[in-house]
Chains A and B, each alone.
Chain A
Amino acid sequence: AQSVTQPDIHITVSEGASLELRCNYSYGATPYLFWYVQSPGQGLQLLLKYFSGDTLVQGIKGFEAEFKRSQSSFNLRKPSVHWSDAAEYFCAVAYSGTYKYIFGTGTRLKVLA
């Protein structure tokens, strides 16, 4: 079955430190990959997406992600975290010709002042 794994349930970083959130997907076909962010009690906001082309994609709020086909990964990075980045982050995958999006279980980010 198709699945998305976010191995880190919680991550805590200090403000100004770098961040990497991990995401792996299970299916080998060409995926559409997404990272979303969710503040408590809110909907999800798209940070960035990968469909094709350059495997390093830039998103909003200073985030970037790199698609590595050989590792079936799409890790999210930010060079310097701000306190306002504290939220829950979801990785998702979809496949061409389908209408189904598969979400990981999320990583909750805590930022220390």
Chain B
Amino acid sequence: DGGITQSPKYLFRKEGQNVTLSCEQNLNHDAMYWYRQDPGQGLRLIYYSQIVNDFQKGDIAEGYSVSREKKESFPLTVTSAQKNPTAFYLCASSSPRLNTGELFFGEGSRLTVL
């Protein structure tokens, strides 16, 4: 079945460490997104990518980095510069060429900084 796979589902990090969250999709979608979710704040856009080897900052990109070397993959690195990284992270994709417009989401990764 087609879908989006995020890993790990749970991740614990010590302060000062970088961590990378994986996102893989087999939907053949061009666009991919990373959102951060905190209680009561909805979803906030971190980065998005419309095409391979290109990505743009979202509303809260500071302290995060991404790469898009393959169409299927859009990993997110939470760096030590991110001041409050404990959150639920959601990866999503969409296929504007098909004009469906909706986002498809992975199951999320919960990052806890100890």
Q: A: which residues have CB within 8 A of B?
A: 9, 32, 34, 36, 41-46, 49, 51, 90, 92, 94, 99-101, 103-106
Could you mark each residue 18-47 of chain B with 1 if its beta carbon is under 8 Å from any beta carbon of chain A, else 0?
000000000000010101000011110100
Instruction: Check B107–A9 contact: CB distance below 8 A.
Output: no
How far is B103's CA from A34's CA once the two chains are assembled, in angstroms?
A: 9
Chain A residues contacting B107 (CB-CB under 8 Å) are 42-43
Q: Chain B interface secondary structure, helix, strand, loop or mixed?
A: strand
Taking residues whose C-beta sits less than 8 angstroms from the other chain, chain B's interface range is 20 to 34
Would B48 and A9 count as touching, CB distance under 8 A? Answer: no
A95 to chain B, nearest CB (A): 10
Report if B63 contacts A (CB, 8 A). Answer: no
Residue of B nearest to A42 (CB): B107
In the complex, which of the residues B31, B45, B94, B108 contacts A42, with contact meaning CB atoms closer than 8 Å?
B108
Contact (Cβ within 8 A) A9 B45: no
The contact sample of 21 A-B pairs, CB cut-off 8 A, is A32-B101, A34-B102, A36-B105, A41-B110, A42-B107, A42-B108, A43-B90, A44-B43, A44-B105, A46-B102, A49-B101, A51-B101, A90-B42, A90-B43, A100-B45, A100-B48, A103-B35, A103-B43, A105-B42, A106-B40, A106-B42
Residues on A with C-beta less than 8 A from B35 are 103
A44:B90 contact, CB within 8 angstroms:
yes
